[in-house]
């Protein structure tokens, strides 16, 4: 029973500290002149929750410029798919920000560039299977005419594998 009360007391202290730091950051950003920065950071952190599993799997937030949200995609097919959800992305982001903050979305190809998830150590899964290279064994070389150009090229390709 005693351990339970210690746990409860500790969690109350942690939540109070988190709320206090959140209020401090909001007041600080309001004083500096950018109160929406706290909301933007929370939007980046909660991107999968705000956008939903499907949209979040297609693109990651890269940042914003003026009133335009920049979303990075892995390939052009994901970019095309996200372009169909353009209005929904803007609506969800503005609903999270609690005001019309974004007016447009720009989709960018990022390939291997780092995104906003790099600080969370989120491992982005690879979509493609690794390429397995098969080495030429030269087992068909004895069936070819040794004087033909194709046989000579195949022999050079096989790195001078001795004939059987």
Query: According to the model, what pLDDT value does residue 151 have?
Result: 86
Token pair of 5, please? 């009360």
* Mean pLDDT of the region 66-83: 91
Q: How far apart are CA 4 and CA 106, in angstroms?
A: 50
Token pair of 113, please? 């560039």
Is 145 in a helix, a strand, or coil? coil
Selection from 126, 132, 138 nearest residue 164 by Cα: 138
Contact 75, 107 (CB under 8 A): no
Query: According to the model, what pLDDT value does residue 51 have?
Result: 93
Tokens 């390429």, located at residue: 131
| pLDDT at residue 70 greater than cutoff 70 | yes
Selection from 18, 39, 23, 17 nearest residue 96 by Cα: 39
Q: Is the pTM of the predicted complex or chain greater than 0.85?
A: no
Dump pLDDT digits (tens) for 10-60: 677 667 766 766 676 666 666 666 667 777 888 888 899 999 999 999 999
Q: How far apart are CA 90 and CA 8, in angstroms?
A: 40
Cα torsion 51, 56, 58, 61 to 10°: value is 90
Strand 59-65 and strand 68-73: pairing?
A: antiparallel
Is 76 in a helix, a strand, or coil? helix
Q: How far apart are CA 47 and CA 53, in angstroms?
A: 9
């Amino acid at each position: 029973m005693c351990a339970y009360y210690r746990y409860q007391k500790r969690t109350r202290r942690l939540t109070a500290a988190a709320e206090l730091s959140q209020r401090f950051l909001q007041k600080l950003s309001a004083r500096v002149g950018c109160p929406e920065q706290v909301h933007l950071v929370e939007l980046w952190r909660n991107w999968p929750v705000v956008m939903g599993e499907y949209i979040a799997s297609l693109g990651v937030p890269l940042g914003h410029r003026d009133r335009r949200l920049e979303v990075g995609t892995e390939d052009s097919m994901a970019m095309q798919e996200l372009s169909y959800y353009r209005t929904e992305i803007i609506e969800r982001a503005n609903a999270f920000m609690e005001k019309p903050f974004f007016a447009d979305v720009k989709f960018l190809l990022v390939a291997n560039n780092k995104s906003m998830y790099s600080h969370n150590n989120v491992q982005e899964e690879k979509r493609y299977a690794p390429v397995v290279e098969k080495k030429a064994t030269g087992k068909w070389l004895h069936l070819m005419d040794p004087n033909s150009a194709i046989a000579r090229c195949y022999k050079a390709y096989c790195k001078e594998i001795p004939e059987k």
